[in-house]
Amino acid sequence: MNLLQEITFLLKKEFTLEWRQKYAISGIFLYVLSTVFIIFISFQKISPQLWNVLFWIVMLFASINAVVKSFVQESGNRQLYYYQLANPLAILLSKMLYNAMLLLLIGVLTFVALSFIAGSPVEDAYNFAMALFFGSVGFSITFTFVSAIAAKADNNSTLMAILSFPVVIPVLLLLVNLSAHSIGLLGGTQVSRDIMMLLAVDLVLLALGMVLFPFLWRD
Amino acid sequence: MKNAWWKIIGVLLIIYSLIVGLLTPLRTGISDASPTSFKTGETIEINVQGYNSFYTKSSNELRAWLKMDSVNALTANNIEVLDDRNLSLTFILPAYLPTSHKVQDFTLIVDSPKDGAAILPGGIFVTQDSIDVASGDSLWVNAEITNLHEKETINFPYRNILYETIRNLYYHVPLWFAMFILFITAMVKSIFYLRSFNPVHDQKAAAFTSVGILYGILGLVTGAIWAKNTWGAYWSWDVKQNMTAVGMLIYAAYFVLRASFEDPEKRARISAVYNIFAFATLIPLLYVVPKLTDSLHPGAGGNIAFGSQDLDNTMRMVFYPAIIGWALFGTWLATLVFKITSLKERWLDQQDGF
């Protein structure tokens, strides 16, 4: 099997697994909804600036909770079995791809929920969608790789937070900047430059993840 | 002693940068002028406060100008020396200025053979009631600025706002450069580890990272002291300060990660992977993100870097040796940390009866 086939096959496996244990994904959705509800109760009126920041904070925490289980939901022995069967790189990439889709879904849900209770301040929908897309990809790459590191340690959920928050900040700040543009908080014509920069950071992290992962999975 | 030459050079360079950097005086300057706003057609008197100046020693040869642009300047009609630090300058402003601006800023220049020339850039403002460029041109008595003196002795440039804190360039910036050298070395050692699986490389990577964090914190502290004197607060939530703090968190997490493994082989492998990953995120953090938003820091947020305008050759004589000195000293510290950890490890092995 070549890499592409392996990835599609493993992706199917991830979806099946998710579909069988619905509690994980429904837990995340419930998490997003209840956070948005708490935000509404505590703020009542949300300014566009606040909306922008709150959106990405909800997104950040939901993403970490969603991704943290990538490498721990299945036992270590079964993981080792997978690594024998498939290319480890295919396993990493399929997990990144799956998480990117999951995070995109979470992002859309957060957007809908936040817009439902507080209205949507987004003026430039295309740019916002771009930010959401590249943001999901960036979060997915970073968090998946960090969760692979954290899964090797014993107290992995604490370690996940410690390792991933500082590492994700460049991506997060680019995203907040980009979506502030699409909301109309920031003027200027640097949107395409910001998107390019986000893409560059995503690609660097992806390349690094692919180079370093072979050293990570072995036990 | 045979292999200690670079340690000696490092320490000597640091001592040199401390002594020369702290003892060399600043060039003369103008720390204050009052009043600063005038109207055209008046005879004005400006009280000038000098910095490191000795006006009484060359009272007869003092010259002063109000410079409008590269061509036009007014000379002072009378210069009265009050004491070494205080001058009273008298200018006669024409009724019209040869400019179409309502308010024109002037640069004050005072030249003395003893101290050299001092300037206050754009510090004097003149408002004209009505604009008439043609009569401004005809009324203007231009005084060309020639033969400015330079002080003969070694000194550092005088810059408003910076004043004496310009010396911090020899501590804040070299510590920062050296921190980068240490982090790069740590990353290279991590790569070596992943290629050879020799535990020595991992211990060295950890040692270099720990000294790098120390340098980063020192850089942050010296930067905060500089910020207190120039920006007005130790911590002004500037993007450069914030990102540096986050960068230190990334590397602090490296040690948390190391501590969470029992198995030394696993610890070495995973932390080497993280170290390389951390360095790759440090670059966008410190060089991409600060360019996006407003920042007070030179070289960020559209500001020009410090070196392009304010670094002169005298400062370079201290600045570059300081970078080399701190880098060598950091390497020495890292090798010491490495020796301590490897000795500790060996001692623990003996305790276990290996």
* Chain A residues touching B277 at Cβ < 8 A: 145, 149, 167, 205, 208-209, 212
> Which of A163, A165, A218 is closest, CB to CB, to B257?
A163
Q: Is B259 exposed, middle or buried (0-12, 13-18, 19+ CB in 10 A)?
A: exposed
B29-139: CATH architecture? Sandwich (2.60)
**Optimal mutation site among A201, A202, A218, interface B, most CBs of chain B within 10 A:** A201
Question: What is the full DSSP assignment across B189-235?
Answer: HHHHHHHH--HHHHHHHHHHHHHHHHHHHHHHHHHHHHHHHHTSSS-
- Contact (CB<8Å) B269/A162: no
Instruction: Please report, for chain B, the start and end positions of each structural domain, with discontinuous segments joined by +.
Output: 29-139, 163-351
- Contact (CB<8Å) B273/A204: no
Q: Closest-CA residue in chain A for B249?
A: A166
Segments in B30-164 forming alpha helices (H): 133-139
Smallest Cα distance from A153 to chain B, Å: 6
> Which of A166, A194, A208 is closest, CB to CB, to B250?
A166
Cβ atoms of B324 and B13 within 8 Å: the answer is: yes
Segments in B119-198 forming alpha helices (H): 133-139, 172-196
* Chain B residues touching A163 at Cβ < 8 A: 253, 256-257, 274
* Domain total of chain A: 1
> Which of A170, A218, A219 is closest, CB to CB, to B285?
A170
- Contact (CB<8Å) B277/A204: no
Interface pTM (ipTM) of the complex?
0.85
Smallest Cα distance from B254 to chain A, Å: 8
Q: Closest-CA residue in chain B for A146?
A: B274
Tens digit of pLDDT per residue, chain B (354 long)? 678 899 999 999 999 999 988 888 888 888 888 888 888 888 888 888 888 888 888 777 888 888 888 788 888 888 888 888 888 888 888 888 888 888 888 888 888 887 888 888 888 888 887 888 888 788 777 777 777 777 777 778 777 777 788 888 889 989 999 999 999 999 999 999 999 999 999 999 999 999 999 999 999 999 999 988 888 889 888 888 888 899 999 999 999 999 888 888 889 999 999 999 999 888 888 877 777 777 778 766 556 566 555 667 778 888 899 999 999 999 999 999 999 999 998 888 888 765
Smallest Cα distance from A16 to chain B, Å: 30
Nearest-angstrom CA–CA distance, B333 and B243: 26
Domain, as residue range, for A19: 3-217
